[in-house]
Amino acid sequence: MAERPEDLNLPNAVITRIIKEALPDGVNISKEARSAISRAASVFVLYATSCANNFAMKGKRKTLNAGDVLSAMEEMEFQRFVAPLKESLEVYRREQKGKKEARKDKDKKADSEEQDKSREEENDDDDERMEEEEPNEEEEVDN
């Protein structure tokens, strides 16, 4: 694993909230424990990505897709995640589709204005604020 610049960390506030909601009320979480879980989460992302990428390569694809991630979860012995992930994915896809429709309507009204093309998400703020999911219509393509 590379060094740990700030970018590879996840926002403290969000991590803390997820932990607090998972544990019974009134349980204290030491700062050290919280920081450790945050690091662990970053490592998890890297591990999952690497694993998913292996599946993509096996399928001779250059783009990681949903199936690769789900296969990675099984491989990593997190099968328990697969069902809830599939459920969430369905909701997410419906949401994205809904957003697309809404944008199409808006575009019709707004008179041919180029709003969102498929753009990289580089502009997103990287500080610890929570943010909405990005409405990306297409696959991300690396330049």
State which residue, 22 or 115, has the beta carbon closest to another protein. Answer: 22
| CA neighbor of 130 nearest in space, from 17, 28, 36 | 17
Shortest separation between residue 112's beta carbon and another protein, angstroms: 25
Residue 18's closest CA among 107, 130, 115? Answer: 130
Least CB distance to another protein at residue 105 (A): 19
- Is 103 among the residues that bind another protein (CB under 8 A)? no
Return the closest-CA partner of residue 66 out of 38, 96, 40: 96
Q: Restricting to residues 11-70, name those near another protein by CB under 8 A.
A: 11, 14-15, 17-19, 21-23, 26-33, 35-37, 39-50, 52-53, 57, 62-66, 68-70
Among 111, 113, 114, 139, binds another protein (CB under 8 A): 139
Q: Which is nearer to another protein, 10 or 107 (CB)?
A: 10
Q: How many residues bind another protein (CB under 8 A)?
A: 79
Query: How far is CA 59 from its chain centroid?
Result: 22
Structure tokens at 22: 């998972």
Residue from 77, 111, 113, 114 binding another protein (CB under 8 A): 77
Residue closer to another protein, measured from CB, 105 or 137: 137
Say whether residue 92 binds another protein (CB under 8 A): yes
Report residue 50 as tokens.
Answer: 């690497």
| 83 is a site residue for another protein (CB under 8 A) | no
8 A C-beta contact, residue 91 and residue 99: no
Residue 12 near residue 34, CB atoms below 8 Å:
yes
Do 86 and 70 meet the contact criterion of CB atoms below 8 Å apart?
yes
